[in-house]
Amino acid sequence: MKTRIFAGMAVAAMLLAATGCGSKEAPEAGGEEDGSLTLGASLALTGATAKEGTYTKEGYEVCTKVINDKGGVVAGDKKYTLKVQYQDDTSKADVSAQLVDQYNDKGTKLILGPYGSGPTEAVAAVIERNGQVMAVSAGADNKIFAKGYRRSFAVLSPATSYVASMVQAISDLATPKPKTIAFISADDGFSKTATQGGIAKAKELGFEVVAEEYVPNQTTDVSAALTKIKPKNPNIIVGSVHLSEGIAIIKQAKELGVRPSGGFAETVAPPVPDFVKTLGTSAEGVLGSTQWTPKTEGSEKYFGTAADYAATFKSQYGGRNPTYHNAEATAACLALAMAVEKAGSTEPDKVRDALAALDTPSFFGPITFNDQGMNVTKPMAVVQIQNGKAVPVWPKDSAEAPLTWPGTT
Amino acid sequence: MAQFLQATLYGLLQGGLLALIAVGFSLVWGVMNVVNLAHGAFVLAGAYVALQLHEAFGLDPFVSMVPAAVVLFGIGYVIQRYLVNLVVNGPLFITLLLTFGLELVLVNLMLYLFTADHQSITTSYAENSIVLPGDVRIPYGRLLAALLALALTVALVYVMRRTRTGLSILATGMDRGAARLMGIKARHVYALTFGIAAAMAGAAGAAVGAVSTFSPADAGRFTLFSFVAAVLGGLGNMWGALYGGLVLGLVQGIGGQLLPGTLVNALAFAVLILVLAIRPQGIAGRAFYASRVEA
Amino acid sequence: MSRVEVDKEVTGSAKTPAPVTPVAPLWRRLAPWALLAAGLLFGIGLQPQLYPAQERLVSTVLMFVALASAWNLLGGFAGYASFGHVGFFGLGGYTTALLMYHLNMSFWLAMPASVVVAWLFAALIGVPLLRLKGHYFAIATLGVAEALREIVINLPKLTGGGGGITIPTFGAAAPTPWLGNDGFYLLFLFIAVAVVAVAIFVSSSRSGYALRAIHQDEDAAAATGVNTTLAKTLAFAGSAALTGAVGSAHAFQLQTIYPDRSFDVGITVLMIVMVVLGGAGTVIGPIVGAITIAFLSEWLRTNYTDIHTFLLGGMIIVAVVVLPQGIASYLRDAIKARRFSPLENVRRYRL
């Protein structure tokens, strides 16, 4: 009996191998049919960064809706309806890379970036290899762009400016000026790069760095770092972290009696609504750095000003205000659409060149890229939680309110 | 000096909560030889129950420990009776896979129902602290959580050792065949055990919600720490889970001061491996199943 | 189940004739090897047919075939369910990455080196660990894997820590140029064939019987003269070495590896699910399981993007309840006994 099974399987295998004597056709280029231009996006819809991945998706959705409402993307003499295809990378970098490869097979050459520096780095390598083009919305680590990739372009300010901007803001606005800073950093690549950028800036501006502590990525317990920092009595504690660590720092600092006279400044966490919702009044006075606020300067034809963008987003998403994750995603999609328009075609190489040469103001700030593909001209904004809202306080000309100093009660 | 005292106290408080999380896990493993990979998901479910009650009725999370425990007891009983009982006689990796699948289902269900938001249940008092000399602080919330955890564990030990139900659970754990011969309904007892374990986890979850933040991504971490605490303390032994939790909390607290902060997790696993290599029955335990074999 | 090959030198006395040892006919013993060769040819023949992303998918499937078969050597044959096998996967990957990054070593040297490192590490750690049984062994191996991950995270100057490490694969800095989708497909194909070959060899040799004996009753096996420690340690080390080889190739393919992903416990669980659903303790089981689960999970992810993990969990539960001995064993027993009802399985293991 087993013989028959074995024999049958062997025959089947041979047959299949025999039929394997054709070759596949090359994938059709373009990713366009029936007047629509499809961009590919592999996003974290489930997994550790599902929240931020969903924000990114919303940003892409707003972009397609607004552009299509205004007539779609005009390339040469053809008009395209903009569409984005989504796949879930479960917050994992290698899955992201595989999905982008799959897009390439189907001929989708124009890609919108995933969420996070890890997946972005993995995808950038694939983009380079396949001759695709990517507009990066949420991968800020400078290390990604130091590898000589020429086909990925990031609309957001790089990681080094996340902390440096807050340090600069404190130096500019805080009176009396604080003297000592302690840094708490998550130990992933992006946070570490941001921390190094911040420390360099702090030393340059004459602050004394009294501590540099690292915590496990995505942890909810930073008590060890806080306990070590407490005896050093820093004037400010700066956190280069994500949402979970950011919330934990504030909560546990209160528990442990860690009260820096100047308060706290954190990357990523404060502008996210969860931060205020979870911490309540403890969040007051915390500084945050953000890629975008509704007061950012600049405008263009599709989205208008930052305030216009906020209004559009609000109406599409039931009265909810956009976060910077939404805005940076829309900006990436916008950049890609603009590049297609400028190039007059959807050919990846032409789009790539047009993207590299792009230099335009927008609701997100100036969008232009240096030769590494980073957007270094766009400044980050610094916000402060005042009365439960993230209020822009720096740069001065796009500030909504003055800095409340000291930052803690 | 104050630094170490702070770290020690804080670590012990965390350990108390860990102990409550681990006690159910240890019970299930010791009695039924089932490793419940979905245990962390139960903790999370307890936290969400407390959150919903807080948002709907303003109920204090420590009070919500009771309804959370009741709800989770029901869920645990049903899962064991009608699902896990189906594979309990099989080789161990069958139950492991079943509970793994269960974890995926539960965590994703919660992700769908409650989104990936980081949640916390804020109370007016939890973050304030008792201040000791040297500015060493004992936060009220964590103190309450640790004390309640201790109380629940003691209550559980009492129930196990003194009531008929508890004794029937222990008996079934020792020898299922003999217990059945004595008229004990094994299926029901197993379901009861699992339900109690889930209830403990749910109560712990409510406490976690009060003192820390949680989101569906945390389920795996809770399970992992239950492992370490349960094995450290000795499987099937409720005092053991308490010791294990406290020791783990202590190790992490003090270790966090002596070593760079990122090594804390590594320390926990190093402790685990050491215990398994030197004394697999843990601090307080007698091995119920899978005893160590000398080569 | 193959026939028992008894030593042919059993002598008989004058009164009792020497027992006649039934030996399986030659073609039957060769059948698994023939099938393996056919599989190899099929794999090679399939390649030109596939688009790059499909190629990548099949490479991943082959990778899991190799991983599942390697796990099966210890977990299926000997019954020692290791829950930390991903530790060897990551160890192989990081060894290769470190050798190629810091010492600019060629991949073709780094991979064998990783295999050796994994083998040595497992042999060393097997000494205390293999004395444990059942759940204790599972937890201990899990602890080892997690500890490895933490060590990697905490040596940032060496390994890049949480930020990952990148193997140079472009330009002059690269010791070995990146193999390309085609190259990796073939690499994984050969690795998978090699692992399955080892499995076939072990399965029908004395070592395989030693492992199976240990699985059924370790004390009795020891009593009949099986050197259980040696058998277990060799199986553990061998399984680890093969897993390390796969990890090495995977690291090179990915170019940038991160500790969280290289030591992800989910990979171990996937390995185990594949083996169990395919049929633990058989040679074909892990292959069937790996192919089924890999394609299933991919199909779910593409078509039910929002809830694919949920559905996967549900399917695992159903499969484990209904088919606990795995597809291969179920089919084998069902065809033999002509009883196809899966409810039999449920009755077998329920309380």
Q: What is the mean pLDDT of chain B?
A: 86
User: Is residue B10 within 8 angstroms of chain A, CB to CB?
Assistant: yes
Nearest C-alpha in A relative to B129: A255
**Domain boundaries, position A250:** 160-290+381-398
Is residue A124, in this structure, part of any structural domain at all?
yes
Based on the fold, state whether residues A141 and A81 are members of the same structural domain. Answer: yes
Interface residue of C26, C27, C36, C42 to substitute, partner A, most A CBs within 10 Å:
C42
Contact check, Cβ <8 Å, B109/C129: no
pLDDT for the residue C313: 87
Based on the fold, state whether residues A233 and A127 are members of the same structural domain. Answer: no
**Per-residue confidence band for B286, with pLDDT thresholds at 50, 70 and 90:** low
pLDDT for the residue A409: 43
Residues C201-213 have pLDDT tens digits of 898 888 888 898 8
Based on the fold, state whether residues A132 and A268 are members of the same structural domain. Answer: no
Contact check, Cβ <8 Å, A10/C34: yes
pLDDT for the residue A5: 52
CA B12 to chain CA centroid, Å, is 15
Strand partners, A385: A390
Residues C174-191 have pLDDT tens digits of 778 878 778 889 999 999
Contact check, Cβ <8 Å, A104/C52: yes
Residue numbers in C near B222 (CB within 8 A): none
Closest of A386, A407, A51, A399 to residue A238, by C-alpha: A407
What CA–CA distances, in Å, run from A389 to A273, A292, A393?
Answer: 9, 14, 12
pLDDT for the residue C165: 82
Contact check, Cβ <8 Å, A50/B111: yes
pLDDT for the residue A12: 52
Phi, psi of C90 (to 5 degrees): -65, -35
Residues A154-210 have pLDDT tens digits of 999 998 889 999 999 988 888 888 899 999 999 887 888 899 999 999 999 999 999
Three-state secondary structure call for residue B174: helix
Residue A244 sits in a domain whose CATH number is 3.40.50.2300
Q: Which helix (H) or strand (E) holds B262?
A: none
User: Is residue B120 within 8 angstroms of chain A, CB to CB?
Assistant: yes
Based on the fold, state whether residues A183 and A307 are members of the same structural domain. Answer: no
| Rounded average pLDDT over C24-46 | 83
pLDDT for the residue C25: 76
Decide which of 1.10.260, 1.10.3470, 1.20.120, 2.60.40 is the CATH code for B2-130+137-278. Answer: 1.10.3470
What angle, rounded to 10 degrees, do the helices at B140-162 and B61-82 form? Answer: 40
Within 13 A of B219's CA, how many CA atoms are on the CB side? 28
User: Would the pLDDT of B289 be above 60?
Assistant: no
Neighboring chains of B (3 or more beta-carbon pairs < 8 A): A, C
Instruction: Indicate the pairing of strand A180-186 with strand A236-240.
Output: parallel
Residue C256 gets which letter from DSSP? Answer: E
User: Is residue B225 within 8 angstroms of chain A, CB to CB?
Assistant: no
Cα B39 to Cα B180: distance, rounded to the nearest angstrom? 27
Contact check, Cβ <8 Å, B7/A223: yes
If one counts the domains in chain A, the total is 2
**Per-residue confidence band for A32, with pLDDT thresholds at 50, 70 and 90:** low
Residues A142-164 have pLDDT tens digits of 888 887 888 999 999 998 889 99
Residues A71-128 have pLDDT tens digits of 888 888 888 899 999 988 888 887 888 888 888 888 889 999 999 888 898 888 888 8
Based on the fold, state whether residues A279 and A311 are members of the same structural domain. Answer: no
Is residue A11, in this structure, part of any structural domain at all?
no
Cα C138 to Cα C142: distance, rounded to the nearest angstrom? 6
Closest of C338, C55, C274, C28 to residue A10, by C-alpha: C28
Is residue A309, in this structure, part of any structural domain at all?
yes
Hey, what are C30's tokens? 């060769």
DSSP characters over C182-211:
HHHHHHHHHHHHHHHHHHHHHHTSHHHHHH
Give Dmax (Cα) for chain B.
61
Residues B37-50 have pLDDT tens digits of 899 999 999 999 99
User: Would the pLDDT of B135 be above 50?
Assistant: yes
Contact check, Cβ <8 Å, B270/C218: no
Based on the fold, state whether residues A213 and A351 are members of the same structural domain. Answer: no
Query: CA of B191 to nearest chain C CA: how many angstroms apart?
Result: 11
Residues 6+ apart with CB under 8 A from A89: A42, A43, A44, A45, A47, A95, A96, A99, A114, A119
Residue B54 burial by Cβ neighbours in a 10 Å radius (0-12, 13-18, 19+): buried
The reported pTM is 0.83
Based on the fold, state whether residues A253 and A306 are members of the same structural domain. Answer: no
User: Would the pLDDT of A20 be above 80?
Assistant: no
Residues B141-190 have pLDDT tens digits of 889 989 998 899 889 988 888 999 988 988 888 888 888 898 999 899 99
Q: What is the mean pLDDT of chain A?
A: 85
Cβ(B148)–Cβ(B141) below 8 Å: no
Hey, what are C183's tokens? 């190259």
Cα A360 to Cα A335: distance, rounded to the nearest angstrom? 9
Query: CA of C70 to nearest chain A CA: how many angstroms apart?
Result: 22
